[in-house]
Structure 1
Amino acid sequence: MKLAIVLLVSLASSLARAQYYYQGLMDYLENRILAIEDRMELWREQSHRYRTELLDFKKLTADMMHGLGKEHGFLRQDLEAAGVRVERAEREVEYLETNASPRACVHKADKVLEQGTWGAEQRRRGGAEEEGEEWQEVQHAVSDCIDIISSIRSVKILKRAGGAKGVWVRDPRSSKVYVFNGTAGNKVYQFSSVMNFSSSPRINHSRQLRLPSPWSGAGAAVYNDYLYYIQQADNKEVQVIKYDLLSGSVEETAMVPVAGHTPVYSLNPETVADVVVDDEGLWLLYAADEHEPNINLAKMDPATLDIEQMMDTHCPRENAEAAFIVCGTVYVVYNTRLASRSRVQCVFDVNDVMISEEAPLFYFPRRYGAHASLKYNPAEKQIYAWDDGYQILYRLTMKRKLLV
């Protein structure tokens, strides 16, 4: 009996302790749930506040974007209107340049001034017939051609191939096209025709000519199956190389009359000298030295590379990008350091037949950058141009000089 009472007392004590323990656990869980509810309420309040702020920010952003969209539309309209005005102004400027533009830089040669003075004196003496004969003889000594450029008739962008600078030319006596990619190397790419070059996917998908010495600059020319290019090396003299394209051998070499490696065009410093072909034959454009501000011109014998005559064109090298010769008349093309529209701004007639009012001053159509080279083809009356990697053809309209 006593054992049963002890067991009952022990069980009652255990139940009391268990009840106390579970009651404490329930109180703890209830407190934790209340804390979680308080935090959830706080989170709900913060979430509501954040959502309200986000909606306000979204509305503000939408209003700002709407305003920016309107301003962008107005700006676009202004830019389109400005573009229309610029195009209209360019057309008007080109029209004025074609009809009554000022002439920037045409100078008379001293020998012709002396001849004109001598002719006036002969007229006073009654020797008009002899004076006329002597005048014709002086003019014939340099050039017989009397054509000048009237305007650029059309522009054809052939393709984009190669680097930003280079030369591409066509031999006036054949249909072959030659491409000089870059400003230095010993490879020249030959194509059978302009169409073949245009349809070729890459420059190197052609016949490659490996020259015996490297060419430099953008001053190469092709004339009567001969390649004329400039060779220069550090601390060495500058040379013109005549290379026979049929036999693959060097025919002649000649020293260029320059002191140092001064570029002939300041905007294309890689070109120290420029070999040029026109209706009269072979010419060389160069800068005598770094102190010479103007471009010099030399008439060369295509067979021997002998210099037959040297002249100062009076055209400055500063801001010049390229030049070409048509019928014994030098056309120097200028630009700006930040490339804009190329323009012919200086003209030099080796015969001094062109009068100042007649000298053309015109702009090239706006394209991609600045010309690295401009090569005139007298057989086609068009210019092969290299402009920022694009190969372009400029077809020219010619007119006759006004004889004075």
Structure 2
Amino acid sequence: MFLLLVCMCGLLLQGDAQNRAALWRGNDQSGRCQYTFTVPSPVESSCPQTGGPEMEDLKARLSLLEVLVSRLTGGYSGGPQVAGARSQSDLQEALNQAMGERNLLQGEKERLERELAGLQHRMEEMRRETERLMNRPCPPQTVVPPSPLGQDSGLIKPSGDSSPVSRLMTRPSRQGDSSSLRETVWPYGSPRGFQEVKAEVTEVPAPDISEDSTGCGELVSVAEPVTHRKADNIAGKYGVWMQDPEAVSPYGPDMIWRIDTIGTEVRQVFGYEDMEQLSKGFPSKVLMLPELVESTGATMYRGSLYYQRRRSRTLIRYDLASETIAARRDLPHAGFHGQYPYSWGGYTDIDLAVDELGLWAIYSTSKAKGAIVISQLDPHNLEVKKSWETNIRKASVANSFIICGKLYTVSSYSSPTTTINYMYNTATGQGKAIAIPFKNKYLYNSMIDYNLAQRKLFAWDNYHLVSYDLRMSRKQGN
């Protein structure tokens, strides 16, 4: 303000300069009031021209800036439109890649969830099996009363004891198995007399067993599983494999067939020339079925594949030679798609089987209230010829198979050591509890069928195709 006053005084004092000086008042960029005045130069009539190196440098910088802006907005070729299209294409490609990775992760998540559910189910099975074993009472021991001692018996009477007791262990629980009969410890005198007693005890008539497994009696034992192949991918976790006992041209009797049953579009059937080709994994024939397959209950018989159509109680006979559907029929009142499955699930409501007597269906109905129903079918037109209703709840067993008209059920699909626990004879209409040891080597057995061609059991155990040798009693009266 002081300078401003001095300037004002100078203007007033110099009257001759009043006509040439000018004063302005206005706000600056920050909004503050600012006073400005100008005085013409008494020496220079005009200012020198602006420009020089500074101006040229400024122009060069502006040109460079324009080039950079052009590159950023228009790209190197085609201008803004081409750049926008390229950017959109890159974004779409990235989006597609992200969606693909998301789908893969989702599939892996579902697979892990299924594995977790299976493990939880197996743990529950093992817990129930443990409780059952813990609650089962121990078998009572049989005490043989003491034999009279004397010279005729050949036993030496010990001094100081007038009533010695010879204890024998419990007789074997399974008929024909004498390996568990333990020798009794005879603490008195010479063992000669004990040997005579033992000979008398072990003289028990053994059951008539057929070593060549060609009889049609009852099942006696099942051997250790033999692994033939492991499935290649997740689609082969569950499945069915089979052999036609009465093969028809153009396929030979050694032909092996396989169906992977994971997925909603199950229609491929793989054929192998023999067991060796199956082990190597090289199919010689692949069939595409016209109707989708439901679960693991399919079977082969007399040149046809028999299976259940997906989400229905319809049975289909597919002729292998002509590769066409030869017959179809609904199984009367049969449950389907999860109404009456085996304990492992898998939509195993209808299980087809073949044995020495022909074609069978194992299922249940609402009238049977979940109990297993067995029907013998006409292999030509799939008509029900005769049915039997058992008192076995289908959901309480892991799987079943039929040999010589007798239904056998398996207790657990996940326990490594389980049993074949029940047998129902269609010839007599009677059933009984049994206890034949059975092993689930890979802990998730989703299919067990009798293979009449080889007289073995075929099974699909957690990606693995396995078989079991059988031991049958000789054919007796049913």
Q: Give the Cα separation in 2 of the matches to 1:98 and 1:232.
A: 44
Aligned partner (choices 363, 369, 387) of residue 437 of structure 2? 363
| Structure 2 counterpart of 1:323, from 382, 387, 400 | 400
AA in 2 matched with 1:208: V
Q: CA deviation at 1:98?
A: 5.7
Match of 2:318 among 235, 243, 266: 243
Q: Which residue identity lines up with residue 250 of structure 1 in the other structure?
A: I
* Correspondence 1:151 to 2:221: yes
Helix, strand or coil for the counterpart of 1:216? coil
Q: Provide the aligned length of Structure 1 versus Structure 2.
A: 260
The 2-side partners of 1:285 and 1:401 are apart by 24
For the pair 1:176 / 2:255, whether they are aligned, the reply is: yes
| Of 239, 248, 252, the match for 1:166 | 239
TM score, norm. by length of structure 1: 0.59
Paired letter, 2:381: T
CA contact (8 A) 1:278 1:327 kept: yes
Q: Report the Cα distance in structure 1 between the residues aligned to 2:431 and 2:366, rounded to whole angstroms.
A: 30
Contact 2:341 2:395 in 1 (8 A): no
From 274, 279, 282, the equivalent of 2:351 is: 274
For residues 128-149 of structure 1, what are the alpha-carbon distances to aligned partners after superposition, in whole Å with 9 as ceiling and x for unaligned?
A: xxxxxxxxxxxxxxxxx84221
Q: What secondary structure does 2:276 align onto?
A: helix
Q: Which residue of 2 aligns with 1:224?
A: 302
- C-alpha distance in 2 between matches for 1:341 and 1:291: 30
Q: Shift of residue 154 of structure 1?
A: 4.7
Aligned-pair distance for 1:332?
0.9
Deviation at 1:316, TM superposition (A): 1.6
Q: What letter matches 1:264 in structure 2?
A: P
- Letter of the 2:274 partner, please give it: S
Q: 2:224·2:439 contact (CA, 8 Å) conserved in 1?
A: no
Check whether the contact 1:267–1:319 (CA below 8 A) recurs between aligned residues.
no
Higher strand share: 1
Q: Which residue identity lines up with residue 322 of structure 2 in the other structure?
A: S
Instruction: Give deviations 1:157-192, integer Å, cap 9, x for gaps.
Output: 112114221111111121111101124501111111
Which protein has the larger Cα radius of gyration, Structure 1 or Structure 2? 2
CA distance in 1: counterparts of 2:358 and 2:375, whole angstroms:
11
Structure having the higher helix fraction is 1
Secondary structure at the aligned position of 1:305 is classed as: coil
- Whole-Å separation in 1 of the counterparts to 2:230 and 2:219: 27
Whether 2:287 is the aligned partner of 1:199: answer no
Report if aligned partners of 1:177, 1:194 keep a CA contact under 8 Å in 2: yes
Distance 1:249 1:385 in 2: 27
Larger RCO (CA within 8 A; separation ≥ 6): 1
Structure 1 residues without counterparts, runs of 5 or longer? 1-94, 101-144
Is contact 1:178-1:190 (8 Å) kept?
yes
Deviations 1:95-131 (A, max 9, x none): 745658xxxxxxxxxxxxxxxxxxxxxxxxxxxxxxx
For 2:143, the equivalent position in structure 1 comes to none
Aligned partners of 2:229 and 2:278 also within 8 Å: no
Cα distance in 2 for partners of 1:366, 1:307 equals 33
Match of 1:215, SS? coil
1:372 aligns with 2:429: no
Shift of the 226–97 alpha-carbon distance from structure 1 to 2, 3 Å rule, reads: same
- How far residue 260 of structure 1 moved from its aligned partner, in angstroms, is 5.1
Deviations 1:42-63 (A, max 9, x none): xxxxxxxxxxxxxxxxxxxxxx
Deviations 1:259-278 (A, max 9, x none): 55313313233212011000
In 2, Cα distance between equivalents of 1:156 and 1:355: 30
Shift of 1:324: 0.6
User: Is the 1:353–1:402 Cα contact (8 Å) retained in structure 2?
Assistant: no
Tell which deviates more after alignment, 148-157 or 316-325.
148-157
Partner of 2:426: 350
SS of aligned partner of 2:442: coil
Deviation at 1:347, TM superposition (A): 0.9
- The answer (yes or no) to whether the contact 1:183–1:216 under 8 Å persists in 2 is no
Unpaired runs of 5+ in structure 2? 1-171, 178-214, 247-252
